[in-house]
Structure 1
Amino acid sequence: MLNERQVEEVYRRLAKAMPGRTKGAKGPKGQPDAFRSCISCMLSAQSLDRNTAAATKALFALATTPEALLSLSDEQVARAIKPCGLYNMKARNIRKFCEALLEEHGGVVPDTREGLLSLPGIGRKCADIVMSFTFGKDVIAVDTHVHRVCNRIGLTEAKTADRTAQQLEERSPEWAKRDGHFWLIQFGKRVCKARAPECEACPVNDLCEFYAAART
């Protein structure tokens, strides 16, 4: 893995090359509150963005609060969210999430990682996304782009997204945590692409472990 000085340099260069957090950055899939952000994030698992959008639109046309969602049957929820796939399992998870949210938190979504992770259906990625986008906390949420980029460059050395998130929490400078998710995901989509990374145009190629290995 890169050393502390190199990690700092990677973030400095990405901060100059990528737009970072924009004024229009909202909760996951543009949801207006923490509850709908959590539900949207749960629906996005193994789903294309357009399918998640269709599912959330259909579901939130029926209910937008935990109480209202619990008044629906599992069949009604599953039918609404069918576009995002795994709809029966996700419908059950949504019910458990809503029940726990009401019973343990009075219907208010907690703004801490520990609190979010205590809720059914919420994993590390979802918790960090909600913390960053909805609550404005300085955390680096890890999706597939961020996981790929970090382990290619050498910011982390992890086989799972959750472990990547843990290492980023430990190894990233505090000043980079606010926009780090945005720099990394933008970099992953524009330059460090999954199948054809544009290494020659990369602003951090002289620090990148993947690029160094490819040239030997």
Structure 2
Amino acid sequence: MPKQLDYHSISEIFHRFREHEPEPKGELDHVNAFTLVVAVALSAQATDIGVNKATKELFKIADTPEKMVALGVEGITEHVKTIGLFRQKAKNVYRLSQILADEYNSIVPSSRAALESLPGVGRKTANVVLNMWFKQPAQAVDTHIYRFGNRTGVAKGKDVVAVERAIEDHIPAEYQHHAHHWMILHGRYVCKARKPVCANCIIEDLCHFEEKTNV
């Protein structure tokens, strides 16, 4: 198993990521904090492309908690039925919209605890919203980051919480804000699960992964 990389190597990795893509962006479409919460909640066990297709029309008619509640569970379901687990997700979106409208004056809270109290919003979703919308250095660890962190030695951990802490402990502060986007994009398009594209990897010489591919 790869060992934890040293500070200098990790710093160089993220320096290269920043040189290659100074302002990485998330790939979920949204128009405000509320639609970001909804999009990320819908993305569990689904692709960003699939979520974007489903929310394209939904967000045109329901970009606030009140408008989403007005659609009702059935109306929301009709829009998200192409997404996995759509029935439960539609119920969650309806309920979280109700709570935001009734208890938060339709303003998305900037507290992790408050976000996690919403139906369908877990730690990962909360961290994405805190990072992307509120510009906090929160680390949303998904399967791509978990794989990347352990495979390369950048952030090793037995579970997502341990990897999240390793990111906070080992990645220099100047890279913390964009760290999770760089890692997600690298894991999604280069450091793939089954067949990583090591020949196209800009950090290949620093990575501790032993089973590197040549194609």
TM-score tier after normalising by the smaller chain length: 0.7 to 0.9
% same residue: 34
Q: CA offsets, 1:41-66, max 9 Å, x none?
A: 11111122332122212322442211
Aligned length: 210
The 1:55/1:198 distance shift into structure 2, 3 A limit, reads: closer
Task: Give the TM-score of the pair, scaled to structure 1.
Answer: 0.82
Letter in 1 for 2:195: A
CA distance in 1, matches of 2:182, 2:72: 41
Query: What are the within-5 Å matches in structure 2 for residues 176-195 of structure 1?
Result: 176-195=175-194
Q: Which runs of 4+ in 1 moved over 4 A?
A: none
* 197-206 or 141-150, which deviates more: 197-206
Look up the match of 2:18: 15
Task: Give the TM-score of the pair, scaled to structure 2.
Answer: 0.83
CA distance in 1, matches of 2:94, 2:188: 34
Structure 1 unmatched runs, 5+: none
Structure 2 unmatched runs, 5+: none
RMSD of aligned alpha carbons? 2.6
Query: What are the within-5 Å matches in structure 2 for residues 1-216 of structure 1?
Result: 1-16=4-19, 18-22=20-24, 25=25, 29-199=28-198, 202-211=201-210
CA distance in 2, matches of 1:74, 1:141: 28
CA distance in 2, matches of 1:138, 1:129: 10
CA distance in 1, matches of 2:144, 2:22: 15
The 1:209/1:66 distance shift into structure 2, 3 A limit, reads: same
Letter in 2 for 1:147: Y
- Is the 2:154–2:167 Cα contact (8 Å) retained in structure 1? yes
The 1:103/1:166 distance shift into structure 2, 3 A limit, reads: farther
- Is the 1:28–1:130 Cα contact (8 Å) retained in structure 2? no
Q: Could you say what secondary structure the match of 1:177 adopts?
A: helix
Q: Could you say what secondary structure the match of 1:71 adopts?
A: helix
